[in-house]
Amino acid sequence: MIKALQQTAIRRDLRLRQVKVMLAAVMIAVATVATINLFAGHLQQTLLQSASSFLAADRQLITRSTQPVAEQWQQAASEMGLKTSEISQFSTMLSAGGAFQLTSVKAVDGDYPLRGEIEWQSGLQAPRQMLQQGPASGEIWLNPRLLGLLDIAIGEQVTIGETELTVSGLLLREPDSSFNFSAFAPRAMMHFVDVAATNVIQPGSRVRHKLLLAGDENLLNDFENTVQPAIDSGDYRWRDARDGDTIGESLNKAENFLLLGGSLAVLLAVVAIAVASREYALQQRDTVALLKTLGLTSSAIRRLYATRLLLWGVLATLAGLLIAVPFAWFLSAMTAQLMAQPLEFSLQIWTLWPALLTALLVLFAFALPPIDRLRKTPAMQVLRSLPQLDKGFLVKDSVVSGLLVFGLLWLFAGELKLVLSLLAGLSVLMVVLLVFGWLFVSSVRSFKGGSTAWRSAIVALHRHKRATLSQLAVFAMTMMLAATLVLVRSSLLADWQAQLPEDAPNHFLVNIAPETVDDVDTFLSSEQLQRSPLYPMVRGRLTAINDQPAKEVALNPDDDELRRELNLTAAASYPDDNKIIAGQWFSEGDNEGLSIEQSLAESLGVTLGDKLGFTAGSDTFSARVTSIRSVQWDNMQPNFYIMFPENGAIKDLPTTYLSSFYLDPVDKSVLNDFILQFPTVSVLEIDHIIERIQDIIQQVTQAVEAILLLILLAALAVMVAVVSATMSERQREGALLRTLGAQQSLLVKATMLEFALIGLVAGILGVLAAEVTVWALQYRMFGGEFRWHWPVLIIMPLLSSILLSLLGRWQLRPVLTVSPMLLLRRLE
């Protein structure tokens, strides 16, 4: 039909400021969501692969009984095309000559490890090597400590059960070693096929079998589904690289952050789109009235504008995707380089659907309603300016779009509570804003003194009360969202940094006999190494609660902590990152009482004042709970379920000590000397784990920062949209003032001052709201306490003030560069 309108106007209207803002916002929303989706997929893949080395596989299927993993599952996995490896772990005595030593043996097949590497030495003084295979059949690798304990050398034979194996090397580190002080017995590694000949595994032996699996993510999921019944029946446990531990935590937090960021970017874009589209609709009223006068029906007008919007939307969406793909590729390339992994970036079209859904929703829920109402413009408008029927967003629209945004956020953040708290925060902010905003515009007149520019700015603020209020609301919201993100990012990073500072102890010394403590200290200080406090350790079982057998009265009698020996310790003070959540820590000189970890207390159903009884060797002792602590298990520091006062119940029991120190990777050879000198002390090397985690954290940090950049761009788009929305009025006034003889500098100063004031107030309100939101979010997602973030509190309002005054100045440009005559004619 109306070709000129459909083709030419679509193209020409693109030059309109409002249309540009609207499309830029759609573009940013699409680009952000698409980047996050594309990159998060890749990031997850890379991180999982990296985390997989901690399992020596992508997944583990672990038996709960002492039976080996059933043949059918191995077969099923192989048939699906997954790589598999079978391992068994058990404790047994090794002997050589006359010496015996309890050893924790890991038997591995020829495919072990599926992921990661084994660190190995051919002799105590030999260089360390990274291997991708375990010992051959007939051979055994020993922890260096075992050489000393059994008093043998490389190449000699050790007896294990009914067979003899040749010691062919030293096992320094296996990829899937658990970071657990209860793994006390030193480790030895042998080949899986030799296990049967040892005859050490008898019915009732404590043995754990694992099937390691690696391969394509989809295949792994398929296999998980296949094996699910066996997992559900309790025969097996399924382990994923993201389960528990620091890495899983970091990954989850980062993903939460990315999604939260994405939702905020969409929210910001939605505000920009709503403002710009309303502005565009206002601008189009005369056109619509004329078209009606010329005989266009309202349905034709609706079609006309819907087509236009659709076309623009498609364009903006494509542009957004065009930005997202290279951006995501760039981020992926960066992370791949950082993790020293090959770049495997594939563009999967289906991962783009959330971006497309976003485009569709923001366009049709926010851009369309005001434009669609254009068809109701009275034709009489063509003859005279009529009161505006379009009051922006109507109640119905607000409800519909509110629900849609809610749905979208829910979809992205995947967590109902998060979305609800975000939206609740925003609603509270709106109410507070209206109150404070009203107070601001009402009281602003009383600051009337000062220069002419100041007075004009104040008068303008007061005169445009409504506009001032809505600007204030939008800017404060923008500031709040941006500040929330900045704050969450810094607390997320600080959280991670605090968890693993650069010089976090990366080597643990376990099993230090009391009489060797001084020698160990001398050794460490001669190497200029700083050790952390010594903790005495007594291995004991929790056997009684309030003089009743613990297994009978515990809330959860199957608790693992009731079945195994716990590491009991005594200390004058608790570790820095523990928190006392009930009761009181021991005072000096206390010799009664104990402190228990929170989750264990909950699982046992133990509260303050309860009496716990323990058995250690032949000794029994008991103490009452005097405090309950929360413990950061994922911080790679010594942590304990049960702590006694220094002169408490375990004071006189036979004990060994635990300590830790930081060793620079280049000084690794110090360990050889240490092991030679102290053969009975176990050295737990966790430097690789820590390094890996630090890598991952750095990588996630970069991702988080890149996304933050996109979101700040969205915030900027909102600001431009809102400032330009009120600009035609301002331009008219400016032109009039210039005609009446106002100087350019006065106009500039007054406008900049006006916006600076709005920016300042909005900044302050926004940042305050952000503090509250961050506190609430942290509480839920990241775990943390409320504290003021002074730098942000000061910088954000100033930044918003400067940014807005510059935006105002920029928008005033047409008024300043053209003669007042021309201006008035243009603005007619």
Which range binds other proteins by CB under 8 A, 1-9, 55-63, 452-460, 523-531? 1-9
Which range binds other proteins by CB under 8 A, 8-16, 222-230, 577-585, 706-714? 8-16
Which range binds other proteins by CB under 8 A, 136-144, 290-298, 328-336, 613-621? 290-298
Contact at 8 Å (CB) between 542 and 550? Answer: yes
The nearer residue to other proteins, 37 or 284, going by C-beta atoms, is 284
13 counts as binding other proteins under rule CB under 8 A? yes
Helix H or strand E segment including 611: strand 611-616
Structure tokens at 220: 């792994």
Which range binds other proteins by CB under 8 A, 380-388, 597-605, 618-626, 717-725? 380-388
Which range binds other proteins by CB under 8 A, 296-304, 347-355, 408-416, 574-582? 296-304
In Å, what is the CA distance from 342 to each residue of 41, 45, 46, 54, 336?
15, 12, 9, 19, 6
Contact at 8 Å (CB) between 163 and 105? Answer: no
The nearer residue to other proteins, 8 or 452, going by C-beta atoms, is 8
234 counts as binding other proteins under rule CB under 8 A? no
Handedness of CA 172, 177, 181, 187 (dihedral sign): negative
Find residue 102's DSSP bridge partners. Answer: 93
Which range binds other proteins by CB under 8 A, 236-244, 289-297, 310-318, 759-767? 289-297
Q: What is the DSSP string of 199-229?
A: T---TT--EEEEEEEES-HHHHHHHHHHHHH
Which spans in 570-686 are helix H?
598-604, 670-677
Which range binds other proteins by CB under 8 A, 268-276, 286-294, 338-346, 797-805? 286-294
Which of 355, 382, 623, 815 lies at the binding interface for other proteins (CB under 8 A)? 382
Which of 98, 342, 387, 449 lies at the binding interface for other proteins (CB under 8 A)? 387
Which of 5, 82, 368, 689 lies at the binding interface for other proteins (CB under 8 A)? 5
Task: Measure the CA angle with vertex 173, ends 171 and 178; round to 5°.
Answer: 125
Binding mask 544-563 for other proteins (x = CB under 8 A): --------------------
Which spans in 8-88 are helix H?
10-13, 17-52, 71-80
295 counts as binding other proteins under rule CB under 8 A? yes
384 counts as binding other proteins under rule CB under 8 A? yes
The nearer residue to other proteins, 216 or 286, going by C-beta atoms, is 286
Single out the residue of 660, 590, 697 nearest to residue 249, CA to CA: 697
285 counts as binding other proteins under rule CB under 8 A? no
Distance CA 775, CA 770 (A): 8
396 counts as binding other proteins under rule CB under 8 A? no
Contact at 8 Å (CB) between 69 and 210? Answer: yes
728 counts as binding other proteins under rule CB under 8 A? no
Distance CA 37, CA 328 (A): 9
Structure tokens at 721: 């949209």
Helix H or strand E segment including 619: strand 619-630
Structure tokens at 443: 């009281």
Smallest separation (angstroms) from other proteins to the CB of 297: 4
Structure tokens at 233: 């029946």
The nearer residue to other proteins, 22 or 748, going by C-beta atoms, is 22
Smallest separation (angstroms) from other proteins to the CB of 294: 5
Structure tokens at 460: 């303008």
The nearer residue to other proteins, 282 or 498, going by C-beta atoms, is 282
Smallest separation (angstroms) from other proteins to the CB of 4: 4
Contact at 8 Å (CB) between 541 and 565? Answer: yes
502 counts as binding other proteins under rule CB under 8 A? no
Distance from chain centroid for Cα 396:
37
Which of 102, 383, 435, 794 lies at the binding interface for other proteins (CB under 8 A)? 383
Which of 378, 407, 557, 583 lies at the binding interface for other proteins (CB under 8 A)? 378
Single out the residue of 187, 211, 193 nearest to residue 92, CA to CA: 187
The nearer residue to other proteins, 12 or 466, going by C-beta atoms, is 12
Task: Measure the CA angle with vertex 811, ends 809 and 815; round to 5°.
Answer: 90
Which spans in 294-394 are helix H?
298-338, 353-362, 368-372
Contact at 8 Å (CB) between 107 and 87? Answer: yes
Smallest separation (angstroms) from other proteins to the CB of 378: 7
For helices 17-52 and 298-338, angle between their N-to-C axes, nearest 10 degrees: 30
Contact at 8 Å (CB) between 202 and 163? Answer: no
Contact at 8 Å (CB) between 730 and 811? Answer: yes
Which range binds other proteins by CB under 8 A, 182-190, 377-385, 422-430, 602-610? 377-385
Distance CA 568, CA 540 (A): 7
Which of 74, 287, 470, 615 lies at the binding interface for other proteins (CB under 8 A)? 287
Which of 102, 153, 196, 380 lies at the binding interface for other proteins (CB under 8 A)? 380
Single out the residue of 361, 350, 368, 318 nearest to residue 27, CA to CA: 318
The nearer residue to other proteins, 291 or 444, going by C-beta atoms, is 291
Which range binds other proteins by CB under 8 A, 353-361, 379-387, 506-514, 593-601? 379-387
Smallest separation (angstroms) from other proteins to the CB of 436: 30
Handedness of CA 341, 345, 346, 350 (dihedral sign): positive
463 counts as binding other proteins under rule CB under 8 A? no
Neighbours of 247 (CB within 10 A): 23
527 counts as binding other proteins under rule CB under 8 A? no
The nearer residue to other proteins, 286 or 527, going by C-beta atoms, is 286
Smallest separation (angstroms) from other proteins to the CB of 826: 8
286 counts as binding other proteins under rule CB under 8 A? yes
319 counts as binding other proteins under rule CB under 8 A? no
1 counts as binding other proteins under rule CB under 8 A? yes
Which range binds other proteins by CB under 8 A, 255-263, 282-290, 336-344, 773-781? 282-290
The nearer residue to other proteins, 296 or 413, going by C-beta atoms, is 296
4 counts as binding other proteins under rule CB under 8 A? yes
| Alpha-carbon radius of gyration of the chain | 34
Considering CB under 8 A, how many residues would be counted as binding other proteins?
30
The nearer residue to other proteins, 289 or 488, going by C-beta atoms, is 289
DSSP annotation of 363 reads I
3 state SS of 292: helix
The nearer residue to other proteins, 146 or 382, going by C-beta atoms, is 382
293 counts as binding other proteins under rule CB under 8 A? yes
Which range binds other proteins by CB under 8 A, 295-303, 392-400, 545-553, 726-734? 295-303
Which range binds other proteins by CB under 8 A, 378-386, 422-430, 614-622, 683-691? 378-386
Which of 145, 209, 239, 292 lies at the binding interface for other proteins (CB under 8 A)? 292
In Å, what is the CA distance from 268 to each residue of 238, 355, 403, 515, 803?
41, 15, 16, 65, 17
Helix, strand, coil percentages in the chain from 3-state DSSP, rounded to 5: 55, 15, 25
294 counts as binding other proteins under rule CB under 8 A? yes
297 counts as binding other proteins under rule CB under 8 A? yes
Smallest separation (angstroms) from other proteins to the CB of 798: 40
Smallest separation (angstroms) from other proteins to the CB of 298: 6
Q: Amino acid identity, residue 157?
A: Q
Distance CA 16, CA 312 (A): 13
Using CB under 8 A as the criterion, which residues of the chain lie in contact with other proteins when the complex forms? 1-5, 8-9, 12-13, 286-287, 290-299, 378-380, 382-384, 387, 826, 828
